[in-house]
Homo-oligomer: A and B are copies of this chain.
Amino acid sequence: MSYLDRVSECNTFDLQRYLAFTIEGQRVGLVRREFAALLARYPQVFDVNHEQVLLAPQLGDFAARSAAVEPVLRELAAHGHILGWRDEPLAVTESFSAAPLMQIERAAANHFGARTFGVHMNGFVRREDGLHMWIPRRSRTKPTFPGRLDNMVAGGQPIGKGLLDNLIKECAEEANIPAAIARRAQPVGLISYCAEVPEGLQPDIEFCFDLELPEDFAPRNTDGEVEEFQLLPIAQVAELVRDTREFKPNCALVVIHFLMRHGLLPPEHPEYVELAQRLASPTLPLT
């Protein structure tokens, strides 16, 4: 196996299965044909044709769109077509910096192939015997990727919150990192990918942060989402990423990004150029 295998595993899908999802001429997602057929039952909200799913144009602003879509999603959820309702709004947007066009329940995001955004932080320690990274194992009771390895701290980006503020909150909940330390986390770039998931597509961007921790700091999980933290030599982390599927797939990419920025995966590596280019690929593929 190779580092590029990890990138490919986050970018495997068949575009033929999807229709573009468009609001006011902006491409905001991709909908699987089967789910589009369900949406077609609500012609006052969704205009479904053979090429795309359009939000009804008379829904003229954020509030009107969000209000019209919500009861449709609740009805689909009641019939078992959307699972795991969280009551957590997600912005539907053409890009991270664009004004959101509407909001939908997060559990429905992948059904629409809506862009998602999050923060991932690599926590590391420079010890005399080399660089080490804090690696958590996800709780066996988590609904997604139970028992897999993760980045030290990570979380989805809620609507209307700053990236660093969100990271500081997650640092406290996931690893008991005090705000005074978490605040030193350095933004270092992003990874982007488009993953096929059971519900549809997840075009995702994760903003990456590095946090160097003092040797005497030991993380402790406070929200029950982590089974254990291990401080591993970076060479061992690199091997786990390259040679196993122990890591949650997108977390493996965040580690690869770290290795490349810290000279631990050197530019002479035969995969270096392709890794650099594919880790930052545009997330929503064009049909």
Please report A residues at the B interface, Cβ cutoff 8 Å.
95-97, 162-163, 186-190, 192, 205, 207, 260-263, 266-268, 270-274, 276-277, 279-282
Contacts and interface: CB of A to CB of B under 8 A. Distances in A.
Contact of A273 (B205, B273, B274): B205
B262 A186 contact: yes
Nearest to A280: B280
B192 A277 contact: yes
A97 B267 contact: no
A263 B192 contact: no
Contacts of A187: 260, 263, 266-267
Interface of A is mostly: mixed
Closest 7 CB pairs of A and B: A97-B270, A280-B280, A207-B267, A187-B263, A186-B263, A187-B267, A277-B280
Contact of A163 (B261, B267, B279, B282): B267
A167 to B, nearest CB: 10
A189 B260 contact: yes
Contact of A268 (B162, B192, B276): B162
Nearest to A184: B263
Contacts of A271: 97
A189 B261 contact: yes
Nearest to A279: B280
Question: Which of A95, A189, A268, A282 has the most B CB atoms < 10 Å from its CB?
Answer: A189
A169 B272 CA distance: 22
A190 B261 contact: no
B186 A267 contact: no
27 contacts: A95-B273, A95-B274, A96-B272, A97-B270, A97-B271, A97-B272, A97-B273, A162-B268, A163-B267, A163-B268, A186-B263, A187-B263, A187-B267, A188-B262, A188-B263, A189-B189, A189-B261, A190-B267, A190-B273, A192-B276, A192-B277, A207-B267, A261-B261, A277-B280, A277-B281, A277-B282, A279-B280
